[in-house]
Amino acid sequence: MGKFDEKISDKSVWITSTPTQTALALPFCVTEAGHFYAESDYAVQRESHDSFLLLFTIKGCGIVQSGDAEIKLAEGNAVVIDCHTPHRYFSENTKWEFIWLHINGSAVPTFFELLYPNGLCAVNTIEDISEPAAEIMRRIRKSDILSIAEVSAIVHMIFNTLIKSSIESERIRNEGRYYDFVKHAADFIHNHYSEPLSIDEMISDIPMSKYHFIRTFKHIMGTTPYNYLTNYRINNAKIMLRTTDMPVSEIAERCGFLDTSNFIAQFRKHTQQKPHQYRRYFAAD
């Protein structure tokens, strides 16, 4: 569509880029980007688009609909949506200045999940992301290796900013109490990882439901309480394997695994090696 059909002013910027195979192999790449000065009747609706879309409001306000979510995108707010599903975004009866990036890459789904463990929402950004986005627009016109790598790095930085902003907003909203609860649960795991542990035991003195605790823990720690416990046990087992001659069965017991076969299966799942292979590898050093 032309600028007239898109309901955007002539000073708007719209850049497209066809990523190389090298760009697609990196964690992030940008296929389209823009800085739009949209009219009050601006609207875009799609059934599907092969990317994720970052929208960031500079002035005015937009409305974003994706799945069952409807998000108001006020000044300083950002959102990332999965364009593989039906979506719509439009001006909220006012002029809307915003930046947008269509993003692909192997790391995008993971970062999307980290950003929205509890469902889609607007993120009030702590830092202005308009300048990094402008730098992306300057670089995607090129196809040299340095520019491709820089674009990936900048998108990574933007995602980190959004995740940090989301966590800080929740910390303020909940006055830090949920973070204290999660820290308490993590400390409990550190002190009792060698014992059989359940979620109920982790939250025995935490005033949260099991479902709410698991969801909050994942949002703050990036993984579920069970996975955190398993990783902590595996990490301690690694130290024992590298620094002692203790039998694998004893290490399994000391690290809280119910039986040796379960320990071996979990260790292999997390390290792609069996415990004795891991021990032998480091003994060779």
Is 70 exceeded by the pLDDT of residue 82? yes
Which tokens hold the place of 173?
A: 């909203």
Which tokens hold the place of 220?
A: 């703050």
Is 70 exceeded by the pLDDT of residue 284? no
Q: Give the pLDDT confidence of 179-234 residue by residue, as tens digits.
A: 889 999 999 999 999 999 999 999 998 988 999 899 888 878 889 999 999 999 99
Is 90 exceeded by the pLDDT of residue 21? no
Is 60 exceeded by the pLDDT of residue 18? yes
Q: Which of 56, 10, 50, 5 is nearest to 31 (CA)?
A: 50
Q: Give the pLDDT confidence of 99-142 residue by residue, as tens digits.
A: 999 999 999 999 998 888 778 889 999 888 999 999 999 998 88
Predicted confidence band at 178 (pLDDT cuts at 50, 70, 90)? confident
Percent of the chain with pLDDT over 70: 95
CB 131 within 8 A of CB 55: no
Q: What is the mean pLDDT of residues 24-33?
A: 93
Domains observed in the chain: 3-173 (2.60.120.280), 177-283 (1.10.10.60)
Which of 168-172, 174-178, 212-216 is predicted with the least confidence, judged by mean pLDDT?
A: 174-178
